[in-house]
Structure 1
Amino acid sequence: MTYSIIGSGNVGSALARQFARGGIAVGVANTRGPDTIETLEKELVGYVTALTLQDAVNADVVILAVPFSAHVDVARAAGQWTDKIVVDAMNTYGVPPEALKGQPSTLVVASAFPGARVVKTFNQLPARLLAMNPVEHGGRRVMFVAGDETQATAVISKLVGDLGFAPIVLGTLAESGTLLDKGGALVLQNLIKQG
């Protein structure tokens, strides 16, 4: 399975470091081009590869770590999204409520990626905590996961576990969307699962 992170800011870089810590290869892209990712690639040599946006959207699993409004541009970068897993790691800070049309943000994202299996995770911790070793005080930092397609949710839950976090599946995107959206009860919660 191939993985890419689109976005090399605080969240994208934090995720790249977790992939490297977990010994999992990942491509990283942004809209400015692979040259702007060279420093991160050199820091995490052997695990992180700088990619163009066009190459990144060809991965089996594409993680969105871009500002919320940029997801539409990422969606346009691929000819089709059928059967790809798209992970929404974005938050909607600064997005006016009317832009979401009363829906959880990940349902809005899913509508921009027709055919993709969309899963929500990696968005509830601040980037500083997301970058830290998820093993703490004898337990593992919790990472909530939600998705409508069982197999895709299982694949991403396994990835979350392989990165060292304790995955907790909440249910479907509609059921758990408000819990993981901006201001949701589970956003900014640094929970540790023991055992």
Structure 2
Amino acid sequence: MSDNDKLTIGAIGAGRVAQTIARLALAAGHQVILSNSRGPESLTDLVGQLGEGASAGTVEDTARADITILAVGWDQVPAALENGGDLNGRIVIDTTNQWHHHDMQAPVDLGDQTGSEYIATLMPGARVVKGFNTVFMNVVAQSADRTDGRLVIFLAGDDTEANATVAAFVDSLGLAAVVLGGLRDGGRLMQAGGPLIALHVAEIA
């Protein structure tokens, strides 16, 4: 990967999903900015553990990254985005699933709307790409040790250029990006209760 291919990745949230992707991104030479609801100072130890290339910032800082990752629980999304800076025109990877934190058996009923279509309404103008929500993070974390091919990360989004940018980022992590379509048709396959949730497949080399 050349210097021109290196990105700044912002994460809204600093839990397991954000940390797992951050570690892969740092190993690939990208820069990472983590944020949470408690402020940058609360992330000092984590940033130290992640090492060179990692930093802590505000949610507004993550909105200025090349790619912003939304990596909070479903119930936390509105509050996380309330002071999230201007995401208009920005590429956002939506890693959420529409489960309430107290009930992960039945997805939240959004009617005819998919989870990511709903998330997109909370970020007017953002170029939302669904991704990383169908796989367990412990499997993603071990992807570098696979011998059966690259782990597939399914993606869905309505913006062709954003899909391509996120797919290239996924590929840079040593994973295989597969774009399924838009937030409605592709997103329906990927969302909570869909057929691709917890499906881990490898791209045969």
Please say whether Structure 1 and Structure 2 have the same fold, judged by a TM-score greater than 0.5: yes
- Count of equivalent residues: 194
Decide whether the 8 Å contact of 1:67 with 1:90 is kept in 2: yes
CA distance in structure 1 between the partners assigned to 2:203 and 2:173 by the alignment: 15
Decide whether the 8 Å contact of 1:143 with 1:165 is kept in 2: yes
Say yes or no: does 1:2 pair with 2:8.
yes
SS of equivalent to 2:23: helix
2:76 corresponds, among 70, 73, 97, to 70
Decide whether the 8 Å contact of 1:19 with 1:47 is kept in 2: no
Decide whether the 8 Å contact of 2:190 with 2:197 is kept in 1: yes
Compute the TM-score of the two structures, normalised by the length of structure 1.
0.92
Moved over 4 A (4+): none
Find the counterpart in structure 1 of residue 137 from structure 2. 127
> What do residues 66-121 of structure 1 show as CA deviations (whole Å, max 9, x unaligned)?
011222223322453221011101112227634x2331100000011111110000
Say yes or no: does 1:177 pair with 2:177.
no
> What do residues 117-144 of structure 1 show as CA deviations (whole Å, max 9, x unaligned)?
1000011111211222345114100000
Q: 1:57 deviation in Å?
A: 2.1
Decide whether the 8 Å contact of 1:58 with 1:78 is kept in 2: no
Look up the equivalent residue of 1:11 and give its one-letter code: V
CA distance in structure 2 between the partners assigned to 1:49 and 1:60 by the alignment: 15
Say yes or no: does 1:190 pair with 2:200.
yes
Look up the equivalent residue of 2:25 and give its one-letter code: F
Find the counterpart in structure 2 of residue 112 from structure 1. 122
SS of equivalent to 1:142: strand
Root-mean-square deviation (Å) = 1.7
Mapping 1:5-154, distance limit 5 Å: 5-94=11-100, 97-98=108-109, 100-134=110-144, 136-154=146-164
- Judge which range, 11-20 or 106-115, deviates more: 11-20
Say yes or no: does 1:165 pair with 2:171.
no
CA distance in structure 1 between the partners assigned to 2:116 and 2:91 by the alignment: 13
Decide whether the 8 Å contact of 2:140 with 2:151 is kept in 1: no
SS of equivalent to 1:173: coil
> What do residues 42-69 of structure 1 show as CA deviations (whole Å, max 9, x unaligned)?
1221121111222222223210000112
Q: 1:169 deviation in Å?
A: 0.7
CA distance in structure 2 between the partners assigned to 1:64 and 1:25 by the alignment: 16
Percent identity between matched residues is 34
CA distance in structure 2 between the partners assigned to 1:62 and 1:107 by the alignment: 17
CA distance in structure 1 between the partners assigned to 2:92 and 2:38 by the alignment: 21
Compute the TM-score of the two structures, normalised by the length of structure 2.
0.88
